[in-house]
Structure 1
Amino acid sequence: MDKEFELIAHPQIHAFSAILVRLFSRAPHAHREMEIGLVLDGNVEFTVNGNTNLLHSGDMYLLNPMDLHEIRGLDGSALILAIQMSRQLVTSYFQHDENTCFLENCVRPFFSRHETRYEIMKGLLIELAYNYFGQFANYEYKCMSLLNMILYSLHTYVPGKIYTDAEMTARRHRQERMSRITDYIEKNFRQKLLLKDIAAHENLSLTYLSHLFRDELNLSFQEYLNLKRFEYACRLLQNTDKKVLTVSIESGFSDVRYLNQLCQKYYGCPASELRQKRPGPARADRQAASNTQNIFTAGDSMLLLHTLRESCREKYGDYTIWEFYG
């Protein structure tokens, strides 16, 4: 089960880390680090604070600290490079960074008139990760210089906002509360679960909690709960031979009709036909999918990034730093 917060280790460089991951799905969670991600292969359904976008190979995304996010690889899995950094890394020279948040999570649309710069920025991200995993001489300085170039470009083109201290405190409080709530639902959605149970657990009024779901996730509590149950039911239907009624009960639905309604809505067929319409993955993929994500070792990460790195250098190796900043 996911924790209410994801605790990220920074074993090499203080307040900074990189990971390369083959991702199948990741339940809603939050962490205190900012994250810059790049989809290297595959397609991804990316949900942040209730807003869902589709990302494709070559797309970059941004996460503010404590953004509640969920990510799923479509049609199997997706390969993702993620850079995660603490605010401590830049607050020593950028006094407003602690209260600065990006207002958008998808990067590419804001570089529509600067496609070459966008492609170079992707190359810098790959180069950064390659050096991080390789730990070459003085790699720490190179990683930090590349990261600052990327941050400059992102803050120049992607809309952001500087919050007051009071606004930032309120924002973090709501996000931390929502993270606790979604974690509680993740652990209990297969049981009978009512909004009043969540309200009692968080010592909130029903009215406040109902509005909190709408404001933070763009869904009602019942809609969110049914989607969690439906996702679980789909995995059972695709990866097991259990009967539809059994799947419905094990997923937390009080009546199989609710499962059939959602299958009809999203797939245009009843649950009994979902196996035939959307066959499950092969056995090897099933085992990987049960882990939700596979994080690559440093050595394997370098092997995977090497070809991408050489391709970027071939295309953009003649560009100067002035052209990137210009």
Structure 2
Amino acid sequence: MEFQHELVIPDEGLPFKFFLFEGSQGNYVREKHWHTSIEIFAVMEGSLTFYLNDEKHPLKAGELMIINSNEVHSIDSPEENHTAVLQIPLKQFEDYFTAHRFIRFAANEQETDSQLWRLIREMYKLYGKRGTGYEFKIRSFYYDVLYLLVNHYRLDEAGEQEVRHSRRLDALARITSYMREHYQEELKLTDVANMFGYSDAYLSRMFQKYANVNFKTYLQDIRMTYAYRELLNSDKTISQIAMDNGFSSSRAFTREFQKRYGILPSEVEREK
């Protein structure tokens, strides 16, 4: 399988991740990938094309696309566009799962799609301004989105083949969820493999096959994501940030940071 698992971490202080699609300037392709979160793309301006399970879905302004958990998809963005992306952790829907920790959402009537699109547009406006108390208002729109999804988009049944496909990816998703919850600890491949009943070799192959990276790289991705957030939003020292996020030393953190971002952590601190 030639696709990657995308790491999705909610925005700080909010139960979801919300952002402007990175292909807004055009001439951009996001290769095949998957994630456990539910994802909604809502095009504000311009257009782009989704490939969902190899089916082509062109989108223009005023339209949206719902990506289910563990659905492999890619995106072609040749022209400029403004597209809001809402990523919802799967656990938000625990009370509505079918068997096997499974839930699916499907396209709905145009009137309902328009209603959902307008809610995300309002979230987009609030998120851009981030005025006083915006977190309260954006949450209200977010919960309206969840209400629409479970009442108008949720499928009560799913095909057996679809469930089997999701199970294969869900096995790795449970492991990566555990890693996100314990990334500050010393996590070793052997310990994680034993915890989930796998051999070291099998777990290594699972990461390479379904996440397209090895165990260590995936763990470093998690640690760096949280460390970078702290670097931007806290007054902690670089050494403290390194230790709090699972790095063995500030030197190891600095080395990894420079390799990924091309600058030193201290340069980010000076720009705050």
TM-score by length of 2: 0.51
Shift of residue 202 of structure 1?
7.0
Residue 21 of structure 1 corresponds to which residue in structure 2? 21
Q: Does 2:41 match 1:37?
A: yes
**1:280-303: per-residue Cα shift (whole Å, max 9, x none)?**
xxxxxxxxxxxxxxxxxxxxxxxx
Number of residue pairs matched by the alignment: 169
Q: CA offset at residue 157 of structure 1?
A: 3.4
> Does the CA-based 8 Å contact 2:29-2:77 persist in structure 1?
yes
Is 1:12–2:12 an aligned residue pair?
A: yes
Corresponding residue number in structure 2 for 1:86: 89
- Structure with the bigger RCO (C-alpha within 8 Å, sep 6+) is 1
- 1:118–1:65 Cα change, 3 Å: closer
1:55-79 Cα deviation digits (max 9, x unpaired): 11211110111210011024x3432
Distance 2:18 2:65 in 1: 15
Contact 2:52/2:73, CA 8 A, preserved across alignment: yes
Query: What TM-score does the superposition give when structure 1 sets the normalisation length?
Result: 0.44
Please tell me whether residue 172 in structure 1 is matched to residue 176 in structure 2: no
Query: Partner of 2:109 in structure 1?
Result: 111
In structure 2, the gaps of 5 or more residues are: 172-203, 207-272
CA deviation after TM superposition for structure 1 residue 17, in Å? 1.0
| Greater Cα offset, 153-162 or 32-41 | 153-162
What SS does the aligned partner of 1:160 have?
coil
Give me the identity figure in percent: 19
Structure with larger Rg: 1
Q: CA deviation at 1:89?
A: 3.0
1:238-283 per-residue CA deviation (whole Å, 9 max, x = no partner) reads xxxxxxxxxxxxxxxxxxxxxxxxxxxxxxxxxxxxxxxxxxxxxx
TM superposition shift of 1:48: 1.0
Per-residue deviation, 1:163: 5.2
1:100 matched to 2:98? The reply is no
Q: Which of 90, 112, 124 is the equivalent residue of 1:129?
A: 124
Matches of 2:162 and 2:115, distance apart in 1:
33
Q: How big is the shift at 1:173?
A: 3.6
Q: 1:66 aligns with which of 57, 65, 70?
A: 70
State yes or no: 1:57 paired with 2:61: yes
Cα distance change, pair 148–15 in 1 and its aligned pair in 2 (3 A): closer
Q: CA deviation at 1:46?
A: 0.8
Check 1:123–1:12 CA distance in 2 against 1; reply closer, same or farther (3 A cut): same
- Offset, 1:90: 4.2
Is the Cα contact below 8 Å between 2:63 and 2:114 reproduced in 1? no
Whole-Å separation in 2 of the counterparts to 1:118 and 1:12: 28
* AA at the equivalent of 1:153: L
Instruction: Quickly say closer, same or farther: Cα 1:84–1:131, change in 2 above 3 A.
Output: same
Consecutive unaligned residues in structure 1, runs of 5 or more: 178-200, 204-326
For residues 207-246 of structure 1, the aligned pairs below 5 Å read none
Choose from 140, 148, 154 the match for 1:153: 148
User: For the Cα contact (< 8 Å) 1:15–1:88, is it kept in 2?
Assistant: no
For residues 79 and 57 of structure 1, what CA distance do their matches in structure 2 show? 9
1:37–1:83 contact (8 Å) kept in structure 2:
yes
Distance apart, 1:22 and its partner CA = 4.7
